[in-house]
Amino acid sequence: MSVLDTRNRLLQALPPDEREKLLPHCERIEVRKGEVLASLGQPLEFAYFPEGGLSSNLAVTDEGRRIEVGCFGYEGMVSTATILGSDRTPHEILVQIAGPWLRIRTDNLRSAIQGSPALHDLLLRYAHIQMMTVSQTALSNAVSSIEERLARWILMVHDRLEGDELPLTHEFLAIMLAAHRSGVTLAVQTVEGYGAIRAKRALITVRDRGMLCDLAGRSYGPAEAEYERLIGSFRDNPPPHSG
């Protein structure tokens, strides 16, 4: 069945006539929590445009350790390798929160890019933002405390999900923050102690977004501001960003 409309913010930023040309080549699927949609070096058969849920780009070591270098939801797409001329993904793509996605065969997307300067330009702008996110993550992991990294990551998830309840386990958080699970537990307790979140088993509730912005400092904000400048808002009611 042809797709006629979408909640994906990236595709919504296309001119309507360009979006109407692309969507019939897409199909809607449901991705499941814990599903690995692409492995390191795997040929890319499809590109994906999420309409909900949350997924991560994970760097994987030879020993099998996984560290998040970027997360994406209905504001983005995967994999930007397709946009940049590669037929293989440099990361593992892991679904953290299930949701509906659109998928399109990579050859169909490349054909659409060749025929649409507007689509080509939009996806290149998104690839630029993804590079900023990866760089910001590397900087944050190197110089920020685990509490700052936790606050940043909760803000990034909050941007991409509706509501204030985030179904996140400590196991996932340890991967996302490049930290041991015991350290993550202490960081969650510390941030909860500031009144920024409420933590229960496999669930974090955002209570004070402003406090999270203060805790994250400059580790959060630059890539998000660039997205809003070049593409548009993540959310219907854009949350405030740290100054």
pLDDT at 89: 78
pLDDT at 235: 67
List Cα–Cα distances, 20 to 16, 60, 133, 175, in angstroms: 6, 37, 29, 38
Tell me how long the chain is: 243
pLDDT at 238: 44
Q: Using CA atoms, how far apart are residues 155 and 222, in angstroms rounded to an integer?
A: 13
Please compute the mean of the pLDDT values over residues 34-40 and round it to a whole number.
83
Residue 5 has pLDDT above 60, yes or no: yes
pLDDT at 214: 92
Residue 27 has pLDDT above 90, yes or no: yes
pLDDT at 29: 93
pLDDT at 79: 82
Please compute the mean of the pLDDT values over residues 18-32 and round it to a whole number.
92
pTM value is 0.86
Quick one: tokens of 64?
């099998």
pLDDT band at 2 (very low <50, low <70, confident <90, very high): low
Please compute the mean of the pLDDT values over residues 31-41 and round it to a whole number.
84
Residues 57, 72 contacting (CB under 8 angstroms): yes
In the chain the domains, ranked by start, together with CATH numbers, are: 9-116 (2.60.120.10), 139-230 (1.10.10.10)
Output 137 or 195, whichever has higher pLDDT: 195
As a whole-number percent, the residues of the chain with pLDDT over 70 amount to 95
Instruction: List the beta bridge partners of residue 198.
Output: 205
- pLDDT per residue as tens digits for the range 65-118: 777 777 889 999 988 878 887 778 778 888 988 999 999 999 999 999 999 999
pLDDT at 105: 93
pLDDT band at 122 (very low <50, low <70, confident <90, very high): very high
Q: Using CA atoms, how far apart are residues 183 and 116, in angstroms rounded to an integer?
A: 48
Residue 239 has pLDDT above 60, yes or no: no
- pLDDT per residue as tens digits for the range 171-206: 777 777 777 777 888 888 899 899 999 988 888 999
Range name among 21-25, 40-44, 134-138 with the lowest pLDDT average: 40-44
Question: What is the DSSP annotation of the chain?
Answer: --------HHHHTS-HHHHHHHGGG-EEEEE-TT-EEE-TT-B--EEEEESSSEEEEEEE-TT--EEEEEEESTT--B-HHHHTT-SB-SSEEEEEE-EEEEEEEHHHHHHHHHH-HHHHHHHHHHHHHHHHHHHHHHHHHHHS-HHHHHHHHHHHHHHHSSSSEE---HHHHHHHHTS-HHHHHHHHHHHHHTTSEEEETTEEEES-HHHHHHHHGGGSSHHHHHHHHHT--SSSSPPP---
